[in-house]
Structure 1
Amino acid sequence: MRILVVGAGAVGGYFGGRMALAGQNVTFLVREARAAQLAADGLVIKSPRGDATLADVKTVLTSQIDSPYDLVLLSCKAYDLDSAMDAFAPAVGPSTTILPMLNGMRHLDLLRARFGNANVLGGVCLIAATLDASRAIVQMTDMHAIVFGELDGAKSARVEAIAAALRTGGFDVDATDAIVQQMWEKWVFLATLAGSTCLFRANVGNILAAPGGEAAIRALFDECGAVAAAYGHAVRASFAERSRAMLFASGSSLTASMLRDIENGLRTEGDHVLGDLLKRRPANAAVGSAATTPTLLELAYTHVKAYEARHGR
């Protein structure tokens, strides 16, 4: 299986690197500067699961793609999706499968509109990773998983084949018949975590230690969950229990990557994680105590947009 990983950042670089180290035919679609850096230093992974360096990194520029790939693994930031699609389009043929691991749901509409419904799977990744100053991939916890499947819930030969290839990388792989449900659930959790930690500029433990902090997180989780329920994907009890265990852990240092982006003066996925969820909220959804009272989700989104306005992003 010829696998094209779009980018060699924290997420794509980690999962693609693990598969390449296991002998899979993995190529990274990168820009010239990243290709030069990888050629000089290799792809470096620092991880609780074991450090590793991929010395011979196969890279390709968009202009060098001359034939379709079997699998395109897509893990770019949501705001880079348009440029990413332009970049990997030459790698997509009639039998190419695109596995996106982006947050939210809007990317599915864009990918299917451009490349066709049959070419796109649903997927989520569960990992906390970043790039350090030397562009090495640093995994911050030992969690590393990809969950994916057909959007219609069908079991297919291509899903089985992709799952087999992914599993060689040593990370957790779940080929599921309920990927849309799991994408909605991750979105609810992420919007709650990002909304609360960004709005209060603090980690979960700090928020819980503040007056009204627990109630605020709980209300935001319920508000986000109501949107998922309106689309027929109410958060399941087992997922809600796991989410609350993380969101209400006293002393927790957990934050969202969106808060780290704000603290570092970077662009955020506020429009895609918070804004798009607001757009999908049913017109009759419960709002504040009066028409002029914003909900917590609205406040969180306004907070992120005010940050972007201030920084001109």
Structure 2
Amino acid sequence: MRIAVIGAGGVGGYFGARLAAAGNDVTFVARGRHLDAVRRSGLLVRSPLGEFRTPPASAVGSVSELGPTDLVLVAVKLWDTEDVAAQLGSADLHSPYVLSLQNGVHKDIILRSHLNDDRLLGGTCFISAFIEEPGVVVHNNTLQKIVVGPYRDEQASTSRAVYEAFRDAGIETELSTDIERVIWQKFIFLVGLSATTAAVRRPIGVVRSNDRTRVLLEEVMRETAEVARASGVKLDDAFVEAQMEFCDTLPAGMTSSMHNDLDKGNRLELPWLSGGVVDLAEQLNIAVPRNRTVADILAPYAFGRPAA
């Protein structure tokens, strides 16, 4: 399979390198020093599951440099989605299928505004990985899971082919018949984890062990679940309770990428997490006071650490 991976960070770098190691023709779209390093020496992935490297010159600097492609994986930060979608919409890649591994529920809405709806597959991923230095991605633990599924009935065979490509690359993979629900389920958990760890500025162990911040975590997720149901997503009545139980099983030191970005003074994906919940809730005439408060608290940091 000819695969283009747009964004060679933790998510795109790890899964793309896995697919390349399994014999797929993978090209990364990267930039800056990371691009230079991958062009020179390939992309090195260090993981508890093994170390592997892609061939040198396996990266290009823009979508326009890609050749004919069967599958595009989108793995950029959410604020780059609009630009990437526009580039994909105008590129001559011979009508590939597109699968976003990004966070949230807004990603596919943006991609649909530039792409043919029948070429967009649904998916999400579960992994903790990051760029350690240019040309090197580190996978933190053994969790590396992809869930993929069709949005339309006629995409069933293609979704299965993509599922098999990930599975054959040694990635834990699931084929879902209700991928929109899976994406929302992850979004609800992610919004809760991101909102609370970033607002409290501490890992999940601190959040869940304090009575007041534990309630905050639960209510942030309940609000997001209410938006999901109002959007037509079928969730079990006890879904949030199950997520709270799951949070109790997580390592105490686990945190979110938004908390990490906040600590480093980087730009935040806030407008597509708690801020995104607020925007969707306004369209549905639903009150989400907990998410709104988190979005307000973190607003000064949305574009990075304030200068003063």
TM-score by length of 1: 0.88
| Counterpart code for 1:5 | V
Q: Which position in structure 1 is the counterpart of 2:70?
A: 70
Q: Which position in structure 1 is the counterpart of 2:286?
A: 285
Question: Is 1:7–1:28's contact at 8 Å kept on the other side of the alignment?
Answer: yes
Match 2:301 to one of 304, 307, 313? 307
Distance 1:76 1:63 in 2: 13
Structure 1 gap segments, 5+ residues each: 288-294
Question: Is 2:204–2:253's contact at 8 Å kept on the other side of the alignment?
Answer: yes
Distance 2:2 2:217 in 1: 43
* CA apart distance, 1:75: 0.9
Question: Is 1:69–1:92's contact at 8 Å kept on the other side of the alignment?
Answer: no
Question: Is 2:47–2:138's contact at 8 Å kept on the other side of the alignment?
Answer: yes
Question: Is 1:43–1:55's contact at 8 Å kept on the other side of the alignment?
Answer: yes
* CA apart distance, 1:93: 4.5
Match 1:298 to one of 289, 292, 299? 292
Change (3 A) 1:215 1:239: closer
Deviation string, structure 1 residues 186-231 (Cα, Å, up to 9, x no partner): 1111111111111111111112333422222122221211111111
Sequence identity percentage: 28
- Deviating more after overlay: 21-30 vs 50-59: 50-59
Mapping of residues 25-64 of structure 1, within 5 Å? 25-31=25-31, 33-62=33-62
Question: Is 1:94–1:119's contact at 8 Å kept on the other side of the alignment?
Answer: no
Distance 2:91 2:236 in 1: 37
| Counterpart code for 2:306 | H
Q: Which position in structure 1 is the counterpart of 2:258?
A: 258
Distance 2:148 2:164 in 1: 12
Change (3 A) 1:167 1:173: same
* CA apart distance, 1:285: 3.0
| Counterpart code for 2:203 | N
Q: Which position in structure 2 is the counterpart of 1:291?
A: none
Distance 1:50 1:236 in 2: 37
Distance 1:33 1:90 in 2: 26
Change (3 A) 1:63 1:54: closer
TM-score by length of 2: 0.89
* CA apart distance, 1:164: 1.7
Classify the secondary structure of the residue corresponding to 1:216. Answer: helix
Classify the secondary structure of the residue corresponding to 2:255. Answer: coil
Distance 1:267 1:213 in 2: 24
Question: Is 2:74–2:101's contact at 8 Å kept on the other side of the alignment?
Answer: yes
Deviation string, structure 1 residues 222-251 (Cα, Å, up to 9, x no partner): 121111111122433685465223323487
* CA apart distance, 1:141: 2.2
Question: Is 1:35–1:59's contact at 8 Å kept on the other side of the alignment?
Answer: yes
* CA apart distance, 1:72: 0.3
Deviation string, structure 1 residues 14-47 (Cα, Å, up to 9, x no partner): 0000110111111112236433211333311111
Question: Is 1:78–1:102's contact at 8 Å kept on the other side of the alignment?
Answer: yes
Change (3 A) 1:152 1:237: farther
| Counterpart code for 2:130 | T
1:186 pairs with 2:181 = no
Question: Is 2:89–2:114's contact at 8 Å kept on the other side of the alignment?
Answer: no
Question: Is 1:6–1:88's contact at 8 Å kept on the other side of the alignment?
Answer: no
Q: How many residues align?
A: 305
Mapping of residues 125-164 of structure 1, within 5 Å? 125-152=125-152, 156-164=156-164
* CA apart distance, 1:304: 1.8
- Deviating more after overlay: 229-238 vs 101-110: 229-238
| Counterpart code for 2:80 | D
| Counterpart code for 2:200 | F
Change (3 A) 1:57 1:240: farther
- Deviating more after overlay: 39-48 vs 83-92: 83-92
Change (3 A) 1:24 1:239: farther
Classify the secondary structure of the residue corresponding to 1:83. Answer: helix
Q: Which position in structure 2 is the counterpart of 1:292?
A: none
Q: Which position in structure 2 is the counterpart of 1:18?
A: 18
Change (3 A) 1:211 1:238: closer
Distance 2:63 2:248 in 1: 48
Q: Which position in structure 2 is the counterpart of 1:206?
A: 206
Question: Is 1:22–1:169's contact at 8 Å kept on the other side of the alignment?
Answer: yes
- Deviating more after overlay: 174-183 vs 251-260: 251-260
Classify the secondary structure of the residue corresponding to 1:281. Answer: helix
Distance 1:201 1:160 in 2: 41
Distance 2:130 2:58 in 1: 21
Distance 2:237 2:48 in 1: 30
Change (3 A) 1:92 1:106: farther
Distance 1:250 1:3 in 2: 33
Deviation string, structure 1 residues 61-93 (Cα, Å, up to 9, x no partner): 337636431100111111011232344445554
Q: Which position in structure 2 is the counterpart of 1:272?
A: 272
Change (3 A) 1:129 1:251: closer
Classify the secondary structure of the residue corresponding to 2:26. Answer: strand
